[in-house]
Amino acid sequence: MTEREENMNEGEFIKLLNDYINQFYTNPTISLKHFKDGYKPDGMEKLPFSLPVEFVRGLPDAPMQDTPTKKKWAFLMALQVIFHQTIGSSYETSQHSFDVAAWRLQSGHYEEQLGKNKMKPVDKEIMAEVDLNAILEVSVKKRLNGETGWFHGMGFLSDPSTVMLTGHQLSSRMGGSAIKFKATARDGTIRVADTVAVTLHWLLNQGKNGSNVRDFGMANLKKPVYHLSSLDCVTTPDTTKCPDGVLRGAVFGHPDHFPELSYASMDVKFHHGGPIKMIHHDGDTTKGNSGSPVTVGPDVIGIHSRWEWLDEKKTKMINGATPINHYGNDVHVFRLILDYMAVMPTLYEALKEGFGGTAKFLAICAGGVAEVEVVGYIKGETRAVHFRWREVEC
């Protein structure tokens, strides 16, 4: 690699920034596909669009790092310019906020076999709906009170750089918090992660105070996996509006040994805002199934997490999965937070030393647009950056 490829000068950075901006204006679905239905920003036909970095408010200067990092930073900056131009500088944020904890990595939950819908080898029908190559074996090294150990489970690609899984795979009372992360694909491809994030509510409570519904995690791979497909994640539907109050879905695992996969076809229930906060399903799972995708057709609607008591007398059990895009488990916001962490590797140290202040940026979220703020750092064994986000009314 030449020196020119390793370092990007200011002129090249501005050109790349404007190239991204023009791409977004030419093809608004790149950046605006998850906006509210019917939302159509004005001025999309105004080309060429050429505004420098000063249109981005409240963000630190571009990091002085290698070209790939600068390219990611330019991409994030272009999003900020587009958002500020399309929704304007005056907007209101929702009073309800959600908190995320993200940290950089160093270079026991059980599930229940209910006996109702047993796991079986994946058949041709399931293979036609779900790309099994996106399902990964995840190994996480954690530290607790100076002791370290490896924990194993499942995960899946939601894009070439992102592995989705549960929060307890990254931080748990029994195992501590992640310091290393390795994902193995069915074709033998191995990738490591450099940054992970969980909901702050899970990090602080871990099974208590209603935190199970926020048992949600995400990892950013140091090197993307472009040759494998990803699974599409959708907002978990309220099944009370469905015939019979259920959807027919599937959960995946490898009860024998990876990369062989099995699945259970089962009923899936979720009531948004109701007494049942988690997704409930009656498919068999085994130890190590945490992080498995719960699918309906080709779409992922949840992440398998644990089993729960179905009644107060604790006589009936049901399996539970973390809902997507509910209770702060927003895929798009988490993704941008991890991108931000990737281009600001010294963010934690700067915040700890009192430098850098707070930063605000806009992100796509399931409901439209979110304002994300860097609140500070979290003290303790898990050296994490504290992010807070709210939906934007625009």
For 152-202, what is each residue's pLDDT tens digit? 999 999 999 999 999 999 998 888 899 999 999 999 999 999 999 999 999
User: Is residue 59 one of the residues assigned to a domain?
Assistant: yes
User: Is residue 52 one of the residues assigned to a domain?
Assistant: yes
Q: What residue type is assigned to position 103 of the chain?
A: W
Q: How far is residue 162's CA from residue 158's CA, in Å, rounded to a whole number? A: 6
Q: How many domains is the chain built from? A: 2
Q: What secondary structure, in 3-state letters, does the chain show?
A: CCHHHHCCCHHHHHHHHHHHHHHHHHCCHHHHCCCCCCCCCCCCCCCCCCCCHHHCCCCCCCCCCCHHHHHHHHHHHHHHHHHHHHHCCCCEEEEEEEEEEEEECCCCCCCCCCCCECCEECCHHHHHHCCHHHEEEEEEEEEECCEEEEEEEEEEEEECCEEEECCCCCEECCCEEEEEEEEECCCCCEEEEEEEEEEHHHHHHCCCCCHHHHCCEEEEECCCCCCCCCCEECCCCCHHHCHHHCEEEEEEECCCCCCCCEEEEEEEECCCCCCCCCEEECECCCCCCCCCEEEECCEEEEEEEEEEECCCCCCCEEEEEEECCCCCCCHHHHHHHHHHHHHCCCHHHHHHCCCCCCCEEEEEECCEEEEEEEEEEECCCCCEEEEEEEEEEC
Domain that holds residue 263: 233-321
Average pLDDT over residues 142-151: 87
Q: How far is residue 137's CA from residue 257's CA, in Å, rounded to a whole number? A: 10
For 241-279, what is each residue's pLDDT tens digit? 888 888 999 999 876 677 888 888 889 999 887 777 899
Whether residue 345 has pLDDT greater than 60: yes
User: Is residue 73 one of the residues assigned to a domain?
Assistant: yes
User: Is residue 107 one of the residues assigned to a domain?
Assistant: no
Whether residue 24 has pLDDT greater than 90: no
For 31-64, what is each residue's pLDDT tens digit? 443 333 333 334 433 333 333 334 443 444 555 5
Average pLDDT over residues 306-313: 72
- 253 closest CA partner among 126, 344, 357, 158: 126
At residue 390, the pLDDT reads 93
* Across 40-44, 84-88, 218-222, 374-378, least confident range: 40-44
At residue 83, the pLDDT reads 72
User: Is residue 84 one of the residues assigned to a domain?
Assistant: yes
At residue 116, the pLDDT reads 64
Whether residue 109 has pLDDT greater than 60: no
Of 110 and 387, the structure prediction assigns the larger pLDDT to 387
- Given 90, 122, 137, which residue is the final one in a domain? 90
At residue 239, the pLDDT reads 93
At residue 51, the pLDDT reads 38
- Given 290, 306, 321, which residue is the final one in a domain? 321
User: Is residue 43 one of the residues assigned to a domain?
Assistant: yes
Q: How far is residue 14's CA from residue 120's CA, in Å, rounded to a whole number? A: 54
Task: HSE, CB side, 13 Å, CA atoms: give it for residue 82.
Answer: 30
Whether residue 232 has pLDDT greater than 70: yes
**Model confidence, pTM:** 0.84
User: Is residue 76 one of the residues assigned to a domain?
Assistant: yes
Of 75 and 31, the structure prediction assigns the larger pLDDT to 75
At residue 42, the pLDDT reads 40
- Given 321, 348, 366, which residue is the final one in a domain? 321
User: Is residue 176 one of the residues assigned to a domain?
Assistant: no
Whether residue 14 has pLDDT greater than 90: no
- How many percent of the chain have pLDDT more than 70? 79
Of 98 and 147, the structure prediction assigns the larger pLDDT to 98
